[in-house]
Structure 1
């Protein structure tokens, strides 16, 4: 089967099937939703940063160890890593294609998962075990 070369005319034609419409819509909605949630959580993050500015380690552990602050921070970290993965996907789509894109996206996903797991585990350790 001959592979069709995708040109600007094919992409601009609304009758052509280019890409996965459901995946693109899901990506768009997730990116906007996580961005909006990050803005809401920014208030909490600013509060924590202002409260901890100039504090010693014991005060930082006590503040982040508070469940009302630590658990929302853990949720913020997960949402921020999802937002980061999707944002990097947009950049990687512009520069890579084929197997290289798949490999780079897998590495991007693994990096985001490692960051989320390490951060959430650290925060939850402070919340539950001090």
Structure 2
């Protein structure tokens, strides 16, 4: 039987570890075409002025693809940081604080990028 601490860390039930495993793999797979799209977007717009970039990001498909990249990459980053922290940070208190900070950081990055995308794509 798992201890309450093991359950809180996601180690008590087998499906929690499997769920994290699959979520990380799915975001990794989703990131491949999204990052390729990002790279192609950057390469095709090197040297463009702000208005051209803003008009490009204002296209619905482009804005949705960029938003999908932000969300997928943030989720993937949060899972990866949590795994690293669980493996290498000693002490339960430090581990919990580090995981909380990593989670807030991932959320902050996602919110900042989403805000910037919405603001640019809507023309503000």
Bin for the TM-score computed over the shorter chain: 0.7 to 0.9
Whether 1:104 aligns to 2:98 is yes
Aligned length: 113
* Deviation (angstroms), 1:46: 2.1
Contact 1:65 1:127 in 2 (8 A): yes
Contact 1:77 1:120 in 2 (8 A): yes
* Deviation (angstroms), 1:128: 2.1
Partner of 1:124: 118
Partner of 1:36: 29
Q: RMSD of the TM alignment (CA)? A: 1.5
Partner of 1:73: 66
Select which of 3, 15, 24 maps to 2:17.
Answer: 24
Whole-angstrom distance in 2 between the partners of 1:65 and 1:54: 18
Higher Cα radius of gyration: 1
Runs of 5+ in structure 1 lacking a partner?
A: 4-18
**SS at 1:129's partner residue?**
coil
Select which of 68, 85, 89 maps to 1:92.
Answer: 85
* CA displacement, residues 68-103 of structure 1 (integer Å, 9 cap, x when unaligned): 101210111011000001111111111124111111
Partner of 1:45: 38
Give structure 1 regions of 4+ aligned residues with deviation exceeding 4 angstroms: none
Runs of 5+ in structure 2 lacking a partner?
A: 4-10
Whole-angstrom distance in 1 between the partners of 2:101 and 2:22: 23
**SS at 2:54's partner residue?**
helix
